[in-house]
A and B are shown apart, each in its own frame.
Chain A
Amino acid sequence: MGKMERFSFVALVAGIIFFLFADFVSWALPMFVLKDIPMKKVEDLAAEAKAKNTSAWSDFLRLAKIYFPEQFKKYYGEPNEQTFAEALKIGHHWYVAEGCWNCHSQVIRPVSNETLRFGIPGVSNTVSYPSEYQNELQAPVLWGTKRIGPDLIREAAVHDIGWQVAHLYNPESTSPGTNMPGYPWFFEKDEKGNIVPNKRGLGLLVYLMWLGSWEVKPPKEWALKE
């Protein structure tokens, strides 16, 4: 018994051995189980969106060519794979920095009717699965632990760009009764005095329209040609 009450024994057995054992069970083993899922960089995500012509890609082109062409040219240049990746990165950075993940989760559980509430209407009944998180924008992962607002992992299927713009600027305008704060600093005034998204705002819009886009299967004619 005397040994168990020494600094070195406690530090070695409890401090190191027990800790390593727990880490092995809690995350090293799960990581080993998932090790065959390829890890994607932001550039890979952009290439994939373009190659598969997902709704994220068509929404990106819409945003850059139809909704805010001057703004996009001013801050990002031509809409292509590189600028898509850049916008995604900036959008993700500000999604994290504003603490969006404090009130919005990004995971759909297989219980509590979550697939009905957050799944893609008429298309799928998707529960979150490991491979959709295996990328640079989920390191650290954005599952979140609290929902004040709804889950966002299938957001691309739920709202369009126009809704997102209005909602980010003034949430009350699209969702009466909401207690989400507005984010006017993602917007600026152009020469004509219209309120348009700035660099951060454009990035955030691209990021939001990317969330879940890999699960959206739009009809062919709906996707925009380059």
Chain B
Amino acid sequence: MANNQQLTNLVNYGLVKAHIAMGLLFFIIVALMGFLYSLQLDGIYPFPGIEFLSPGRVRMIHTAGAAYGFLVNLFTGLLYWAVPRFTGYRVLSDALGWFMFIALQAAVLITVVGILFLGQADNVEWGETPWWIDPIIVFWLLLHLIQFGAPLFKASQRGPLYVSGWYISAMLVWTPLVVFMGNLIPRFWSAGTGAGAVQSTFIHDLVGLYVTPVAWGLMYYFVPVILKKPMWSHGLSLLGFWGLAFFYPMNGVHHFLWSPIPMFAQYSAVFATVAIEFAVTSVLINFMMTIRGSAEQLKYNVPLRYMYTGAIFYWITCFQCAFHVTLTFQKVIHFTDWVTGHAHLIMFGTFGLWVLGMAEYVWPKLFGKETMYSKGMSEGAYWLLAIGVFAMFFDLTAAGLVQGFDWIGLNPWIDSVNFSKPFWYFRSITGIMMITGLLMYAINFYKTATTAKGLTAELKSESA
């Protein structure tokens, strides 16, 4: 069909495939790294005394790898699919795209070697990449800006951009600024408390100004496409975007409440964080009203179910955040596993499930097929991942309360370790669930790509 032909020319399928495949591979690797680290907490680490598999180093691969290996790869792959399709223009250059693809994998691999074997880590949480890698990442992000900026710019010459375009445009500008700020300013242009303020801004901005806008941008594209109807309210889309754009960058200092950072910065962060929940709720209302009347699709459409499960987890995380960001809650839960649970629900439960859902929607189409290889594996992976991550969240939240009150009670330190052990055992079990789900998902992907059968979405008739 003419229409299909046009779309094939718009999107470079190879780049989408390569990024999604690598992203999925890194997703499994960083999940395994997290699982390994959790075994150390359980006291049953399988590789004690091996220098390059020291749990401290493995944990940095878990976090830095999740940022650059898993999320950047998957998001970039999905952007290569979505941006040309909603703007109607190709990305700047395919050759640049392949160069960026190789450069990104090289940066991630050098980081892994640097942290595990060379002892070259950086003590910026979520920016554990060795500091000499960071300028390269900033340069990569500038290439990323022109690569995806070109179609967005061309489209906005023609008329107003679609909602996804606003989120992605802002993200393209924010991300290089954020990575530059968070990794280089604390090392070279400040120290101590000032550096702490920059680092906390960075931790949150990488979530708030890269992951969140690109993920919402993609959601605003994929959900209406799958449901075959427009978003419920354009006004709420505007409100959600501008609310996020104004309040999100100011949230960062809430990571270091009660620290030596001047109180006005801490108060502004608390205020901005509570304010952002209103923006988030407006976005959520928009999405929930969009699916109104089509909710039965959640029963059959696994990608859509991933997206709405992620959206509900997103709202839970943000609602939780509005409370635990206050100075009162921080007395108890700061430094505890509560925060770890929160981080996993947002990164895995929301953004992880979203990219998996979107990738599962895109993947068969890339190979000219209509559905995934196995419906059973699709469903199984979904339930393992969704139940696993929510159970982990619940478990770690409870563990955080136990730890927090135990520390306030001035019991011997080892008590808090012993009291946490049952929670940590359970956390490792949920980790096994999540990794099993991921492997199932990956096998399904592999089979979909390689099977000779033409997979069609036709319903099998019962009698035949």
Binding site for B on A (CB under 8 A): 1-2, 4-8, 10-11, 13-16, 18-19, 21-23, 25-27, 29-31, 33-34, 37, 39, 93-94, 96-103, 105, 107, 109-114, 116-117, 128-136, 138-150, 175-179, 181-185
A146–B191 CB distance below 8 A: no
Shortest CB distance A80–B (Å): 25
B403-422 vs A, CB cutoff 8 Å, 1 = contact: the mask equals 11001111001100110000
Q: A25-B268, A128-B259 are in contact. Are A10 and B166 (CB under 8 A)?
A: yes
25 contacts between A and B (CB under 8 A): A1-B238, A4-B242, A6-B156, A6-B161, A10-B165, A11-B169, A14-B170, A14-B245, A15-B170, A22-B248, A26-B201, A26-B249, A31-B197, A97-B115, A110-B258, A113-B409, A113-B410, A128-B259, A134-B192, A140-B199, A145-B255, A148-B41, A177-B418, A178-B414, A179-B40
Q: Is the CB of A34 within 8 A of B193?
A: yes
Q: Does B398 contact A (CB under 8 A)?
A: no
**A145:B196 contact, CB within 8 angstroms:** no
Establish whether residues A117 and B268, one from each chain, have CB atoms under 8 Å apart when the complex forms: no
- Does B193 contact A181, Cβ atoms closer than 8 Å? no
Tell which of B119, B159, B269 has the most Cβ of chain A within 10 Å.
Answer: B119
Interface of B is mostly: helix
Q: Chain A residues near B159 (CB, 8 Å)?
A: 2
Going nearest first, the 6 A-B pairs with the smallest beta carbon separation are: A99-B56, A15-B173, A133-B192, A22-B249, A5-B160, A27-B197
Flag whether B55 is at the interface (Cβ < 8 A). yes
Residue of B42, B119, B191 touching A39 (CB-CB under 8 A): B191
Decide: A140 near B255, CB < 8 A? Known: A26-B269, A146-B339.
no
- Residues facing A in B29-59 (CB within 8 A) are 40-43, 45, 48-49, 51, 54-57, 59
With A116-B410, A141-B199, A145-B339 known to touch, is A18 a contact of B60 (CB < 8 Å)? no
Question: In the complex, which of the residues B56, B195, B241, B262 contacts A98, with contact meaning CB atoms closer than 8 Å?
Answer: B56
The interface-forming segment of B15-23, B283-291, B329-337 is B329-337
Q: Report yes or no: A179 in contact with B41, Cβ–Cβ below 8 A.
A: yes
Residues of B within 8 A of A (CB): 40-43, 45, 48-49, 51, 54-57, 59-60, 115, 119-125, 149, 152-153, 155-156, 159-161, 165-166, 169-170, 172-174, 177, 181, 186-188, 190-201, 203, 209, 238, 241-242, 245-246, 248-250, 252-253, 255-256, 258-262, 264-265, 268-269, 272, 330-332, 334-336, 339-340, 403-404, 407-410, 413-414, 417-418
B86 to chain A, nearest CB (A): 13
A167 to B156, CA, bound (A): 62
B residues less than 8 Å from A117 (CB atoms): 407, 410
Task: Answer whether A94 and B119 are a contact pair too, CB < 8 Å, given A34-B193, A111-B258.
Answer: yes
Q: Are A184 and B249 in contact (CB under 8 A)?
A: no
The listed residue (A15, A97, A133, A179) touching B120 by CB distance below 8 A is A97
Q: A109-B259, A140-B122, A179-B42 are in contact. Are A19 and B269 (CB under 8 A)?
A: no
B361 → chain A, closest Cβ, in Å?
26
A140 touches B173 (CB 8 A): no
B161 CB contact (under 8 Å) in A5, A102, A111, A135: A5
Decide: A26 and B252 in contact? CB cutoff 8 A. yes
Bound CA–CA A99/B122 (angstroms): 9
Which one, A2, A11, A96, A133, contacts B191 given CB within 8 A?
A133
**CA A175 to CA B416, docked complex, whole Å:** 13
Q: Are B40 and A181 in contact (CB under 8 A)?
A: yes
